[in-house]
Amino acid sequence: MVNFVGAGPGAKDLLTIRAYKLISKAGVIIYAGSLVNPELLGYADDTCKIYNSAAMTLEEVIDIMADACSKGIEVVRLHTGDPCIYGAIKEQMDRLDELGIPYACCPGVSSFCGAAASLGIEYTLPGISQSVIITRMEGRTSVPSRESIESFAAHNATMVLFLSTGMLGRLSQKLISGGYHKDTPAAIVYKATWDDEKKYICTIDTLEATAQKYNITRTALIIVGNVLTPVIYSRSELYNPRFGTGYRKASTPEIKNPEKI
Ligand code: SAH
């Protein structure tokens, strides 16, 4: 069968145990060479056949999967981060369905989680934002007009932009015309969790200038929102002694809320 496996954001040890086991017992691995850390292939067996899908078409990928499966060989399709985000897995699954080839998915750590860890931030701070909008600028792949950056910007929520590093001037314009203040904090995280990771805090207005200054043109995430540099946020109610939960009784002292940090 075919296993779609999340390779994590880059660091060699940011892999699930299940992903590690699937990689080590695979007879064929097809990995997304433009973004998957090749060091992960070191976990594969010496006899494993390895293909880099960066230079392949969907049809070629499916042919290799079908050929291996007809011989009873386990296939791992290794996608960066988590395969469910911009992984182009559905088109592969549909073709495997047509061919009657079974498959399963093994989740991975998405790069947007890796980037938050690198920045030391929480995307969902009470009183600042309780939502994370994951989106992208339109490129060769179109984005439905009802999902415009401007319409999402109106929420002033935390936003994470994939696949948009080459379009930062236009991105800033859209974010500002949609409703974010131009001085809203923003971050560029290049190759989150890799050894050569780079991260820069700027503002929405200075995204393009920052990327140009540090020569960041690809493999980066753009993070936008006041969670990056909060001045005041509310403490969580879950851990507040004033409130009880199914696991803990409430105690009496008043806690000032919101809390200044
Ligand atoms: N499925 C992947 C995303 C694939 S789309 C995931 O869950 O992370 C490819 C885009 O993801 C890149 O253009 C870049 O915007 C982002 N990306 C992937 N890995 C990254 C990393 N380690 N650091 C920063 N951005 C990354």
Residue 244 in this model has a pLDDT that exceeds 80: yes
Which pLDDT belongs to residue 205?
A: 97
Q: Which two tokens stand for residue 85?
A: 């985000």
Mean pLDDT of 136-151: 95
DSSP code of 166? G
CB 6 within 8 A of CB 107: yes
Is the CB–ligand 1 distance for residue 85 below 6 Å?
A: yes
pLDDT band for position 135 (cuts 50, 70, 90):
very high
pLDDT on residue 255: 55
Digit-coded pLDDT (tens) for 69-88: 999 999 999 999 999 999 99
Residue 216: which residues within 8 A CB-CB, separation 6 or more? 165, 188, 190, 198, 200, 210
| Spatial distance between the Cα atoms of 2 and 54, rounded to a whole number of angstroms | 18
37 lines ligand 1 (CB under 6 A): no
Listing from the earlier edge strand, what are the strands of the sheet with 158-162? 132-136, 158-162, 220-224, 185-190, 198-203
Considering only CA atoms, give the Rg of the chain.
Answer: 21
**DSSP letter, residue 43:** G
Residue that wins the pLDDT comparison between 129 and 253: 129
Looking at the predicted structure, is the pLDDT value of residue 101 above 50? yes
Q: Mean pLDDT throughout 37-63?
A: 97
- Say if ligand 1 is within 6 A of residue 185 CB: no
Task: Say whether pLDDT at 252 is over 70.
Answer: no
Q: What is the pLDDT of residue 261?
A: 42
Q: Tokens standing for 12? A: 């060699």
Q: What is the pLDDT of residues 168-204, one digit of tens each?
A: 999 999 999 999 999 999 999 999 999 999 999 999 9
Question: Percentage of the chain with pLDDT > 90?
Answer: 87
pLDDT band at 241; cut points 50, 70, 90:
confident
Interhelix angle 90-99/58-70, rounded to 10 degrees, is 40
In angstroms, the CA 87 to CA 105 distance is 12
pTM over 0.85: yes
Is ligand 1 within 6 A of the CB of residue 48?
no
Quote the ligand 1 centre to 70 CA distance (angstroms): 32
How far away, in angstroms, is 111 Cα from ligand 1 center?
5
Q: Which of 214, 221, 223, 224 to mutate to test the pocket of ligand 1 (most atoms within 8 A of CB)?
A: 221
- Nearest residue (by CA) to ligand 1, atom 24, is 220
Residue in 194, 173, 169, 181 with CA at minimum distance from that of residue 229: 181
Residue 220 CB–ligand 1 contact under 6 Å:
yes
Mean pLDDT value of segment 218-225: 97
Distance in Å, CA 9 to ligand 1 centroid? 7
Residue 253 pLDDT grade (very low, low, confident, very high; cuts 50, 70, 90): low
Q: Is the CB of 111 under 6 A from ligand 1?
A: yes
Band of the pLDDT at 59, cuts 50, 70, 90?
Answer: very high
For the four alpha carbons of 81, 82, 83 and 88, in that order, the dihedral sign comes to negative
CA of 176 to the centre of ligand 1 (A): 24
Establish whether residue 118 lines the binding site of ligand 1, counting it when its CB lies within 6 angstroms of any ligand atom. no
